[in-house]
Amino acid sequence: MADIEMAPLLRYQNAVEEGGDIWIETKKLWSIVGPAIFTRVAIYLFFLITQSFAGHLGELELAAISIVINIIIGFTYGLLFSIKAILFSILLLPMFFFAAPILKFLGQPEDIAQLSGTAAVLAIPLHFAFVFVCPINRFLQCQLKNEVLAITAGATLVVHIFVPWLFVYGLKLGFIWTMITFTLSWWLNAIILFVYIVWGGCPLTWTGFSMEAFMGLWEYAKLSASSGIMLWILILMTRNLEDAKTAVDSLSICMSINGLEMMIPLAFFAGAG
């Protein structure tokens, strides 16, 4: 009976309460899915806010940030979301170090490739933050701690709105600090959640690290890789257009809007699952 009380969707209640079974189950579902949707949207806004600040700096800066976020960071985040391993993150590091020559080889203009390479190197600490954020989010979601994820994501989002404004506009430190503040916000989110888990937030379930976390990951990794490759193709096809900077900027804005909309159904599926 105690186990049932810990699982909101399994609790037994009288069907006549407030409209019957459908209303009861809907309330239980949204108590889980609502915070999950807010968390996904808030996290995705990290990307949008960073691109917005880069866009105010110029077309070239927006194009470079968009390529790094949508291609390099997006691709590695998708893989690490399934793999969640520090070793695999090390294997993906060449994508960041050699971003500029890779983009040149694939046909991107010289100026976009060079600035994208600079942004990619600055994003290396962000790459390692994903190793912690992805498994922590899954772990807390399994413990029905969606409210904790939502509160942390919301608080970090507020910080991420203020800090880039301070460094990019207030102190006028420019493009480099756009990426640095992006990285700092992700690490802040990871540290808060990690401290919550280790220092008593999940006393019944946190017993230390386990190798069981690595079971059945290869199949999911292949799915994540295929999704990332589709984004690669979309962005890289812009090399054949006359004004590559404007094309990349426009495509990234469309993809960002579409991604923000997709956060709602994806979070619903994750919460319901």
Q: Is residue 67 part of a domain?
A: yes
Q: With 0.75 as the threshold, say if the pTM is over it.
A: no
Model confidence at 55, pLDDT cuts 50, 70, 90, reads confident
pLDDT at 192: 93
Q: Is residue 6 part of a domain?
A: no
State mean pLDDT over 11-28: 64
Point out the least confidently predicted range of 44-53, 156-165, 216-225: 216-225
* Per-residue pLDDT tens digits for 177-209: 888 999 999 999 999 998 998 887 777 777 766
pLDDT above 70: residue 128 = yes
Q: Is residue 126 part of a domain?
A: yes
Count of domains for the chain: 1
Q: Is residue 49 part of a domain?
A: yes
Percent of the chain's residues with pLDDT above 90: 9
Q: Is residue 161 part of a domain?
A: yes
- Specify the higher pLDDT residue, 92 or 238: 92
How far apart are alpha carbons 158 and 174 in whole angstroms? 20
Q: Is residue 21 part of a domain?
A: no
State mean pLDDT over 114-125: 88
Q: Is residue 79 part of a domain?
A: yes
E strand segments, 83-236? none
Parent domain of 170: 26-272
Contacts of 35 (CB under 8 A, 6+ apart): 146, 147, 149, 150, 271
- Specify the higher pLDDT residue, 269 or 155: 155
State mean pLDDT over 25-49: 85
Q: Is residue 80 part of a domain?
A: yes
Q: How many residues does the chain have?
A: 273
